[in-house]
Chain A
Amino acid sequence: MTEPTTAPLLSVRDLSVAFAREGSTALAVDHVSFDIQRGETLALVGESGSGKSVTALSILKLLQYPAASHPSGQVLFEGKDLLAMSEREIRSVRGNDITMVFQEPMSSLNPLHTVEHQIVEILELHGRLRGAAARKRVIELLTEVGIPEPETRLGSYPHQLSGGQRQRVMIAMALANEPRLLIADEPTTALDVTVQAQILKLLKDLQTRLGMTMLFITHDLGIVQKIADRVCVMKSGRIVEHGSVRDVFGAPQHPYTRALIAAQPKGEPAPSQPDAPLIMETKDLKVWFPIKRGVLRRTVGHVKAVDGVSLAIHRGETLGVVGESGSGKTTLGLALLRLISSRGPIVFMGQPIDALGFKAMRPRRNAMQVVFQDPFGSLSPRMSVADIVGEGLRVHMPKLSEAEREAKVIAALRDVGLDPETRHRYPHEFSGGQRQRVSIARAIVLEPSFVVLDEPTSALDMIVQAQIVDLLRDLQKQRGLTYLFISHDLRVVSALASRILVMRGGKVVEEGDSRSIFRNPREAYTKALFAAAFNLDTASEKATT
């Protein structure tokens, strides 16, 4: 402690990052400066593409050089400029003084190494410990990050651990050498809400216990309020606002910050219609995938993705299907659309469709449509928007002339709030929200009565999410659409669905009117789910109401 304690641990000065692309360079981070004091947590918040991850990665020089370059700036860590260091010098900083936890726990761990091996490697690399002492330290670390019975987990491979446990192992690796700065890059984004809450609590505990300094990168404002002391809001490579969490959330100065904080899916869902005619009904629906073993491929058991689900949806209402990943909610949606095989009766608009083959289903497909989660994966990259939206028309209304089809495509694009002039462009030219609008246009151009919405907002930024929810609700009102809304995000569900189905392990654990479930969840699982989701943003609700 020869330095004065008031000096910041990490000081980023005027940092820029440029990427060379197609001969030109694009500035991803534009003259960014911030300080992190010892023992505090600084959050970098922004939407995708705002440059927050690139900023974090450039602190440890982890970008793809020479495609990336730093036209300006310094990263001073305890007074030394990390950007000016040689590759050899920076390696002694990485994993030792500064460590990182990444978003995706599955791909951040080597699938071929055991947990012990991966953590010991870091200890040995920086010459701290080896042999029995290293093993003892690994057990200590695993206990610290809350892995039960760490001794038995030493020999486990990443695939034998759950997502939350993997992230705990990642954190243990990051803590192994007692770093002075921990950079956490969206460490909870890939996790389920209940696990998210646990990991955040763990990080908070560790930080207070070890007096660690943390740079926390996230797009989720709820998490920021829970974990950070100070916050920097980033937009298009610049920091537009910074200050203490209380100040920024209590009295946001910059219009973008205000928009970000206000961007919560709002509004009342369409009322449930118990007297309207049934659109979709199923009883005891089962989707079992056989597990086959041995040479003869004997079926030794089943993965019960959907296990005895019954539901009924009336015209004009929205049924929300809620559950964590692996609960079978997407499989349920695909089974109702007859895109995967299932057992159990499915009645669509009064006609049983569960025995129909692919060909027999075709004439009915215009009445039942689907919007998928990933706006980047659900549009064919080699087709223009007009072709994508018009593809269904070619199948279901083959007699339409070229001009009539075009007119319908234009009308659909206008309905979803896209400029029809953009219809000759390709999907990669559109933003995530715009692509999701194209997906919705593709579904509604066929004038369906029933639409499965499979997490249509999960991959989108907060502000865009709210806009898509509004769009979906407007379309429902105008066209009397019936939705099956699949989501893990309870805030979005509460804005769209009048009735809710909570799924876990392929089974329905709770169902009923959404308002009563939100107010008074009965099952323990539902309670945990709601607590995890809404505890995080109690403060933000105070701020917005």
Chain B
Amino acid sequence: MDATVPVEATATLPPAPRPGRLSPINQRRLANFRRNRRGWWSFWIFLVLFIASLFAEFIANDKPFLVKYDGAYYVPALRHYAETTFGGDFETEADYRDPYLQKLIAEKGGYMVWPPIRYSYDTHNLDLPTPAPSPPTWMLSADQCRPVAEKKGFAGSGNPCDALEWNWLGTDDQGRDVLARLIYGFRISVLFGLTLTIISSVVGVTAGAIQGYFGGWTDLLFQRFIEIWTAIPSLYLLLIISSVLVPGFWVLLGILLLFEWVALVGLVRAEFLRGRNFEYVQAARALGVSNPVIMARHLLPNAMVATLTMLPFIVSSSVMTLTALDFLGFGLPPGSPSLGELLAQGKANVQAPWLGLTGFFTVAFMLSLLIFIGEGVRDAFDPRKTFR
């Protein structure tokens, strides 16, 4: 009988995977995600938009990113330069949109390289052809543009609007460029959403893991606490807190975190409750492995599937909460670029539909992308899902 042992033991096995490669199951998941065309494309579009928005200062800015003046080079987009640097009169930061400064630089044989949009999110366009909110420049008639264009030295024939600095999506009621605000607003929304998601996931997964693993009284008390906690109408509480504290990015993050972390607790708790009686967990206990190590090494990977599946949906709900608070005026401090504030302006200025429409389509597009990514991830992790 002993002779048969090696036969079974050395049965054919596939070649060992090379180190550093994805495990077969993750390769399968990646392939499944890729096969979901909508999710895959949404992921790439979102990634491109997000990375582009991280470089918003080089896309929409009221400072050029390169100035050559008197033989030397300056990078105003990254550094502060006093106006005196360029031969001006004041110690304050140079205003590169000022025709006077532009003239000074040109006189010394210098030039400026501008980003494609010459407005930042807080730049007020002082030469508006119509009272603010001003419509997108391509919607204006030549007559509306002419006075401003002539002030800027437009004399020739053709459409005087071409001589203006364009507001592609118009301006808001304070004369600020909507497109510039959109780019910065998108960035802050996504960054806020991601930060909130990451921190709340870490807190939620930890809380869920502890509850599920230890069970008993720990679980019972924690669960009752969460039930009471989630019964608090969070939006009203947020309104109250944000009217007491001065809301900034981090304060708001902290407040939202108070309620957002519970989203994952149930899922992770269930996974740990299920997993703590698995035989390999029992075996690890019999080996004398300590509880934190068992939780991290044996149980957490199980819970990660459920967590990763939920993440895109949590990001989109975080973005939505921030937008809602901004819309109500309890969000980011006044002046910050935010999609919620844009929507609020759209509501206040019904005669300027470009505000509301831009806000609506941006939010709808962004959330749709996130939901499509979420669906793709969810299906990729579903072991029963088969693609033909």
**Most B C-beta atoms less than 10 A away, residue of A337, A365, A382:** A382
Assess whether A425 is in contact with B28, with CB atoms less than 8 Å apart: no
Assess whether A377 is in contact with B278, with CB atoms less than 8 Å apart: yes
Among the stretches A50-58, A183-191, A426-434, A520-528, the one at the interface with B is A426-434
Complex interface bits, B5-46 against A, C-beta within 8 A gives 1, otherwise 0:
110111101101000000100001000000000000000000
Complex interface bits, B271-293 against A, C-beta within 8 A gives 1, otherwise 0:
00000001110111111111100
Give the distance in Å from the alpha carbon of A387 to the alpha carbon of B5 in the complex. 24
Closest 10 A-B residue pairs measured CB to CB? A365-B288, A378-B279, A392-B287, A362-B288, A377-B279, A372-B279, A417-B9, A380-B280, A417-B5, A370-B286
A contact residues around B2 at 8 Å (CB): 470, 474
Assess whether A374 is in contact with B287, with CB atoms less than 8 Å apart: no
* Residues of A407-446 contacting chain B, CB below 8 A: 416-419, 422, 424-426, 429-431, 433-434, 437, 439, 442, 446
Assess whether A365 is in contact with B8, with CB atoms less than 8 Å apart: no
Question: Taking the complex as formed, is B1 at the interface, i.e. its CB lies under 8 A from any CB of chain A?
Answer: yes
Range class of the A interface residue count: 35 or more
30 A-B interface contacts by CB (under 8 A): A22-B28, A337-B286, A362-B288, A362-B290, A363-B288, A365-B287, A365-B288, A368-B286, A369-B286, A370-B282, A372-B279, A372-B282, A377-B279, A377-B280, A378-B279, A380-B297, A380-B298, A383-B297, A391-B289, A395-B287, A395-B288, A395-B290, A416-B9, A417-B5, A431-B8, A433-B9, A434-B8, A434-B9, A442-B287, A474-B2
B36 to chain A, nearest CB (A): 15
Assess whether B16 is in contact with A391, with CB atoms less than 8 Å apart: no
**Most A C-beta atoms less than 10 A away, residue of B5, B289, B290:** B5
Assess whether B9 is in contact with A470, with CB atoms less than 8 Å apart: no
Q: Nearest B residue to A374 by beta-carbon distance?
A: B279
Among A395, A429, A434, A471, contact of B14 (Cβ-Cβ < 8 Å): A429
Among B6, B13, B282, B386, contact of A339 (Cβ-Cβ < 8 Å): B282
**Most A C-beta atoms less than 10 A away, residue of B16, B283, B290, B297:** B283
Assess whether A442 is in contact with B283, with CB atoms less than 8 Å apart: yes
Question: Taking the complex as formed, is B4 at the interface, i.e. its CB lies under 8 A from any CB of chain A?
Answer: yes
Assess whether B288 is in contact with A470, with CB atoms less than 8 Å apart: no
B contact residues around A439 at 8 Å (CB): 283
Give the distance in Å from the alpha carbon of A292 to the alpha carbon of B75 in the complex. 73
Question: Taking the complex as formed, is B353 at the interface, i.e. its CB lies under 8 A from any CB of chain A?
Answer: no
Assess whether B5 is in contact with A471, with CB atoms less than 8 Å apart: yes
Question: Taking the complex as formed, is A103 at the interface, i.e. its CB lies under 8 A from any CB of chain B?
Answer: no
The answer to whether residues A378 and B23 also contact, given A431-B11, A464-B8 and a CB cut-off of 8 A, is no
A contact residues around B386 at 8 Å (CB): 20-21, 67
Among A67, A361, A396, A467, contact of B4 (Cβ-Cβ < 8 Å): A467
B contact residues around A422 at 8 Å (CB): 13, 16
A contact residues around B6 at 8 Å (CB): 417
A contact residues around B16 at 8 Å (CB): 422, 424-425
Among B11, B283, B287, contact of A434 (Cβ-Cβ < 8 Å): B11
Assess whether A392 is in contact with B282, with CB atoms less than 8 Å apart: no
Q: Nearest A residue to B293 by beta-carbon distance?
A: A395
A373 to chain B, nearest CB (A): 7
B246 to chain A, nearest CB (A): 46
Question: Taking the complex as formed, is B301 at the interface, i.e. its CB lies under 8 A from any CB of chain A?
Answer: yes
Q: Nearest A residue to B4 by beta-carbon distance?
A: A467
The answer to whether residues A391 and B9 also contact, given A374-B279, A424-B16, A470-B2 and a CB cut-off of 8 A, is no
Among B9, B278, B290, B388, contact of A20 (Cβ-Cβ < 8 Å): B388
Q: Nearest B residue to A418 by beta-carbon distance?
A: B9
Assess whether B283 is in contact with A378, with CB atoms less than 8 Å apart: yes
Question: Taking the complex as formed, is A379 at the interface, i.e. its CB lies under 8 A from any CB of chain B?
Answer: yes
B contact residues around A378 at 8 Å (CB): 279-280, 282-283
B contact residues around A395 at 8 Å (CB): 287-290
A299 to chain B, nearest CB (A): 15
B contact residues around A416 at 8 Å (CB): 9
A contact residues around B286 at 8 Å (CB): 337, 339, 365, 368-370
Assess whether B9 is in contact with A419, with CB atoms less than 8 Å apart: yes
Q: Nearest A residue to B23 by beta-carbon distance?
A: A426
Question: Taking the complex as formed, is A135 at the interface, i.e. its CB lies under 8 A from any CB of chain B?
Answer: no
Assess whether B5 is in contact with A467, with CB atoms less than 8 Å apart: yes
Assess whether B301 is in contact with A382, with CB atoms less than 8 Å apart: yes
